[in-house]
A and B are shown apart, each in its own frame.
Chain A
Amino acid sequence: MTTRRRSVVGTGLLALAFCALVFSSAGLFSQEPTKAPAGKPAVEAAKGETHPPPMGPKDSNRVYVFLAWTWLTIGVLLYFLRLKVREADRVYRTGLFRTTGAAKEPPKL
């Protein structure tokens, strides 16, 4: 494994561990349903309109953290994708992997 690949794998594993830590501490992986308060029955057929859970500051913070993390990840991935697209286009222009014909004029991308 080359040094570059090792550092990419290491960074990826660290990022995964970080996400797992943040998400598990925020309760995102929890499989435990919220308990109904003592003396109250579990959810029945709704008599009025049920809205998405009334989020307290803690819950809404979790959601905003999740949303921010999602867009941050998308931004980082888009940056890397852009680099990969450039590289792929460059390779295509050189015609190295083309099975038929010589290298063409580069497409206007």
Chain B
Amino acid sequence: MKKIRAWIYDRLGVAELSKFGMKKEVPLHSHTIWYYTGSSILLFMGIQVVTGVMLAFYYNPTIKDANASVARIMTEIPLGWIIRSIHSWSATFMIAIVIIHLLSIAFTKAYRAPREATWMSGVFLLAASLAFGFTGYLLPWDDLSLAATKVGTDIPRSIPVVGAWVRSLLRGGDDVTGDTISRFFIVHVCVLPLAIFAILGIHLFLVQRHGMSVPLKTGHGPEKNDALPFWPNFILRESGVWLVLFGTLVTAAIFLAPSLGPAANLMAPAPAGIRPEWYFLFMFQTLKLFPSRILGLNGELVAVAVMGAGLLLVFLLPLLDNRPAERKGRVIRYVAYATFLYTIALTIWSLL
């Protein structure tokens, strides 16, 4: 036993990894709790991968079988409904924690130099997570997912010159059809995972390179702060957080398992009350708020332009607020609060 352990430790360099972990320190202050959100995202990502592979064993991405195969997973495959429910709920948990993580970075000004690239890679990760949600929503191929995907893929149409081409690229044709399912499935299980793991690698490398930031609110420089070794002290605490999150996920998945609508009918009109996933609701509501014409321009185009500009501003935030770390940047903070409140308010409005 000892020999096997020594061999594994030697070949994998466990001692070096352990030394690195003990040398790496996590700042300890009143905002330390936000550090746990970063690694919690990894937990849900891992769960997504495992449950996604299990679902892919039985899922058929064709117009004829997509809905039936999901129904089979839910009714015939042992514990299939729990696996599907965990997959669905872990996506929700993951996106919620990605948003919380991003907000915590924004409000503590952790995106400032030298961590601009870390922020930007994080925004890419958020975009990839949302793309996962969008592509995954169509896969059950029920009335609601078809209608929501039609609305979602129709948004780029209002963009001048390339709009029609982008829509056609997303749909694999002029309309949402079986080709769209195949396209979304491949993007969901191949393209996005490869992209997210690549960006995640860069993000984690940048976090290691620049270390964890200490918020200004702690009132003193990093040298005066307490710190905690990453290994084992922080990891052990993190494991506790993971366990509680996992238990909450399983409980939610069991008691609030998602149902499956009737198989989509391409000829049927859109059902009443179509609605995207909760993380797209504020965009959906914004689109509904804009009138059809604004100053002679297409209202949808204006809405898309405003939302696109908003996303670009979020991405470029470290370049817009590139003042020395000791400057507080109140204007940016108030804009961030206002945007946050707007998002919450429109999401609630859309749910009512």
A positions within 8 Å CB-CB of B:
1, 27-28, 30-34, 36, 42-53, 63, 67, 70-71, 74, 77-78, 81-82, 84-85, 88-89, 92, 97, 99, 107-109
Contacts and interface: CB of A to CB of B under 8 A. Distances in A.
Given A31-B78, A88-B233, A99-B23, A49 B259 contact: yes
Interface string B237-280: 10110011011001100100101111100000000000000000
A45 B68 contact: yes
Contacts, number: 113
Interface stretch (B69-77, B129-137, B208-216): B69-77
Given A81-B239, A88-B236, A107 B28 contact: yes
B232 interface: yes
A43 B250 CA distance: 26
Contacts of B227: 107
B142 A46 contact: yes
Given A88-B232, A109-B228, 13 more contacts: A33-B72, A43-B72, A45-B65, A49-B262, A50-B74, A50-B75, A50-B259, A50-B260, A51-B259, A70-B246, A74-B244, A99-B23, A107-B226
B64 interface: yes
Interface of B: 1, 22-23, 28, 64-65, 67-68, 70-72, 74-79, 81-82, 85, 142, 226-229, 232-233, 236-237, 239-240, 243-244, 246-247, 250-251, 254, 257, 259-263
A31 B77 CA distance: 8
- Most interface-central of B75, B226, B240, B251 (chain A CB within 10 A): B75
Contact of A89 (B71, B72, B76, B233): B233
Contact of B236 (A63, A70, A84): A84
Contacts of A108: 28, 226
Contact of A43 (B23, B76, B82, B233): B76
B266 to A, nearest CB: 13
B85 A52 contact: yes
B261 A49 contact: yes
Nearest to B63: A45
B78 A43 contact: no
Contact of A44 (B68, B70, B236, B239): B68
B243 A92 contact: no
A85 to B, nearest CB: 5
Contacts of B229: 88, 92
A43 B23 CA distance: 56
A43 B236 contact: no
Contact of B233 (A47, A48, A85): A85
Contacts of B65: 45
Contact of B257 (A31, A34, A45, A52): A52
The 9 closest A-B pairs by CB, nearest first: A45-B263, A107-B226, A52-B257, A50-B260, A52-B81, A33-B76, A43-B72, A45-B68, A30-B78
A77 B77 CA distance: 30
A72 to B, nearest CB: 10
A1 B1 contact: yes
B199 to A, nearest CB: 31
A95 to B, nearest CB: 11
A53 B232 contact: no
Given A33-B76, A71-B247, A108-B226, A92 B262 contact: no
B247 A74 contact: yes
Contact of A107 (B228, B246, B247, B257): B228
Contacts of A53: 74-75, 81
Nearest to B58: A33
Contact of A77 (B1, B68, B243, B254): B243
Given A50-B259, A70-B250, A43 B75 contact: yes
A81 B71 contact: no
Contacts of B82: 63
B250 A48 contact: no
Contacts of A47: 262-263
Contacts of B244: 74, 78
A45 B246 CA distance: 32
B262 A34 contact: no
Nearest to B227: A107
